[in-house]
């Protein structure tokens, strides 16, 4: 018998309440019953996004919501600034290029956060920039960017700020309205404790001006259609009924917890994970801007990083994430977001210690666990 533990930065484990909600017989979406659920979920999303703006639900993975942001805000030939410090920053570039957007790019060394001053400089040097695309939690490198400081510098320009919070939302604080973030994009399968399949996007009044002005061709991802429907408590196409019901359930759980508690829980798990790595003599990939949602760790010399992840998963049922693209085999990533709790972290660390020992890495067995426990006991 093998019990499975999921410690990846998407998908994340599902709370039993969420799974059970999805097991109920399906209902029709053009009904008062579903409209009630959609209304409640929409209010819950505003709460989770910390905004008074509408949050639209798109039936797609997170990337669909990213694409919706690009094509609704901009048209071919417009100029945008992209912060590229990992795989997901690169995704903004790829989407924007596909639609003929002219790009200014800030290349940030993987593992570092972007400097807001650099964004400010770029904006001043090119007043054509209409939108700044950045990432809250750069899941590929385990970095949290300082969105509050970024928003402060973007506000001094005429550009709108777009934040990919696909893995950050519900894990780390993002005060959309208070900080002046125009557009926030999220996905269902990370901090929000749902299966993959939903994308979310919220837009400020300033961003809506761009949506109205954009000459991009759009159909399924046309947010003007989404707005018309949402104003009538509806969706333009068939809702992902089951996932929206699950979303409503997850948001209720989150609201019972409160954002402060949620962020604190993530911080404590991140602190414990980081303390464990230090005790094991392992180096964090992003020591200066380590995310509270996911910890990226350098694979020590002489250890096969891909084999480490594979053995933990296939032999012991504990799934962590490896590195992506240029980090393949060079880092492993332990998620502590969504419905992941202290005991899961202990389980993951214990398995990591076991497999590292088997692979010949030298350390005092149990030292990582002890360091984590000390943080949890505080
Ligand atoms: C997971 C993730 C994405 C991609 O989302 P999909 O749901 O796979 O389309 C984009 N950005 C970030 C920061 C992510 O963590």
Q: What is the pLDDT of residues 109-157, one digit of tens each?
A: 999 999 999 999 999 999 999 999 999 999 999 999 999 999 999 999 9
Query: Does the beta carbon of 88 sit less than 6 angstroms from any atom of ligand 1?
Result: yes
Cα-Cα-Cα-Cα torsion 216, 219, 224, 226, nearest 10 degrees, comes to -150
Which SS3 state, helix, strand or coil, does residue 224 take? Answer: helix
Query: Does the beta carbon of 141 sit less than 6 angstroms from any atom of ligand 1?
Result: no
The radius of gyration computed from the CA coordinates of the chain, to the nearest angstrom, equals 21
> What pLDDT is stored for residue 2 in this prediction?
83
User: Which atom in ligand 1 lies closest to the alpha carbon of residue 135?
Assistant: 13
Question: Given the DSSP bridges, would you call strands 198-203 and 55-59 parallel, antiparallel or unpaired?
Answer: antiparallel
> What pLDDT is stored for residue 1 in this prediction?
79
Query: Does the beta carbon of 166 sit less than 6 angstroms from any atom of ligand 1?
Result: yes
Listed in sequence order, the residues at least 6 apart from 88 whose beta carbon sits closer than 8 Å to its beta carbon are 135, 138, 139, 140, 164, 166
331-356 as b/e: b if 16+ CB within 10 A: bbbbbbbbbbebebbbbbbbbbbbbb
Res. 36 pLDDT band, cuts 50 70 90: very high
- Which protein residue's CA is at the shortest distance from atom 6 of ligand 1? 62
CATH 3.40.50.150, domain 16-256, yes or no: no
Query: Does the beta carbon of 196 sit less than 6 angstroms from any atom of ligand 1?
Result: yes
Query: Does the beta carbon of 184 sit less than 6 angstroms from any atom of ligand 1?
Result: no
Which of 65, 86, 167 most suits a substitution to test ligand 1, by most atoms within 8 Å of the C-beta? 167
- What residue spans of the chain are helical by DSSP H? 16-23, 32-49, 62-73, 87-98, 116-125, 147-154, 176-179, 205-213, 223-231, 241-257, 259-279, 305-316, 342-358, 367-377
Averaged pLDDT of the chain: 97
Using CA atoms, how far apart are residues 7 and 321, in angstroms rounded to an integer?
8
Using CA atoms, how far apart are residues 302 and 194, in angstroms rounded to an integer?
37
Which of 70, 164, 166, 196 most suits a substitution to test ligand 1, by most atoms within 8 Å of the C-beta? 166
Quick: pLDDT tens for 298-315.
Answer: 999 999 999 999 999 999
CA 188–ligand 1 middle distance (angstroms): 10
Residue 226's nearest CA partner among 40, 54, 56, 39 is 56
Quick: pLDDT tens for 218-270.
Answer: 999 999 999 999 999 999 999 999 999 999 999 999 999 999 999 999 999 99
CATH 3.90.1150.10, domain 5-11+258-377, yes or no: yes
User: Which atom in ligand 1 lies closest to the alpha carbon of residue 188?
Assistant: 7
User: Tokens 């490896």 sit at which residue?
Assistant: 322
Res. 363 pLDDT band, cuts 50 70 90: very high
Q: Cβ distance 307 to 164 under 8 Å?
A: no
Using CA atoms, how far apart are residues 22 and 16, in angstroms rounded to an integer?
10
Listed in sequence order, the residues at least 6 apart from 276 whose beta carbon sits closer than 8 Å to its beta carbon are 349, 368, 369, 371, 372
Using CA atoms, how far apart are residues 47 and 254, in angstroms rounded to an integer?
10
Query: Does the beta carbon of 167 sit less than 6 angstroms from any atom of ligand 1?
Result: yes
Check if 5-11+258-377 and 16-256 are the same fold: no
Using CA atoms, how far apart are residues 233 and 34, in angstroms rounded to an integer?
10
Asked if omega into 41 is within 30° of 0 (cis), the reply is no
- Which protein residue's CA is at the shortest distance from atom 2 of ligand 1? 166
Mean pLDDT computed over 45-67 = 98
The answer to whether the predicted template modeling score (pTM) of the entire model surpasses 0.85 is yes
What H or E segment, with its residue span, contains residue 105? strand 102-107
Overall residue count recorded for the chain in this entry: 378
CA 88–ligand 1 middle distance (angstroms): 7
CA 10–ligand 1 middle distance (angstroms): 8
- Per domain, the residue ranges of the chain are 5-11+258-377, 16-256
Q: Cβ distance 72 to 62 under 8 Å?
A: no
CA 178–ligand 1 middle distance (angstroms): 24
């Amino acid at each position: 018998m093998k019990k499975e533990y999921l410690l990846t930065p998407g998908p994340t484990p599902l709370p039993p309440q969420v799974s059970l909600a999805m097991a109920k017989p399906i209902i029709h979406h053009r009904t008062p019953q579903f409209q009630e659920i959609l209304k409640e979920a929409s209010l819950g999303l505003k709460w989770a996004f910390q905004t008074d703006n509408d949050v639209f639900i798109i039936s797609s993975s997170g990337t669909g919501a990213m694409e919706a942001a690009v094509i609704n805000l901009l048209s071919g030939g417009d100029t945008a600034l992209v912060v590229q410090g990992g795989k997901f920053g690169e995704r903004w570039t790829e989407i924007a290029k596909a639609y003929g957007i002219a790009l200014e790019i800030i290349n940030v060394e993987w593992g570092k956060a972007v400097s807001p001053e650099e964004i400010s400089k770029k904006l001043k040097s090119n007043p054509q920039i209409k939108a700044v695309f950045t990432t809250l939690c750069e899941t590929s490198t385990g970095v949290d960017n300082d969105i509050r400081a970024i928003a402060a510098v973007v506000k001094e320009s005429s550009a709108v700020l777009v934040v990919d919070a696909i893995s950050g939302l519900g894990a780390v604080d993002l005060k959309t309205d208070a900080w002046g973030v125009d557009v926030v994009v999220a996905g269902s399968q990370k901090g929000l404790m749902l299966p993959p399949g939903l994308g979310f996007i919220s837009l400020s009044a300033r961003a809506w001006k761009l949506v109205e002005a954009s000459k991009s061709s759009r159909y399924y991802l046309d947010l003007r259609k989404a707005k018309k429907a949402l104003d009538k408590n509806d969706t333009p196409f068939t809702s992902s009924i089951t996932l929206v019901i699950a979303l409503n359930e997850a948001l209720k759980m989150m609201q019972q917890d409160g954002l402060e508690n949620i962020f604190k829980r993530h911080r404590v798990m991140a602190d414990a994970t980081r303390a464990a790595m230090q005790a094991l003599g392992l180096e964090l990939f992003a020591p200066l801007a380590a995310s509270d949602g996911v910890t990226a760790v350098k694979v020590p010399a002489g250890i096969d990083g891909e084999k480490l992840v594979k053995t933990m998963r296939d032999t012991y049922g504990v799934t962590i994430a490896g590195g992506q693209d240029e980090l393949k085999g060079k880092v492993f990533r332990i998620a502590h977001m969504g419905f992941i709790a202290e005991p899961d972290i202990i389980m993951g660390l214990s398995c990591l210690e076991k497999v590292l020992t088997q692979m010949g890495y030298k350390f005092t067995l149990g030292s990582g666990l002890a360091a984590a426990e000390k943080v949890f006991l505080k």
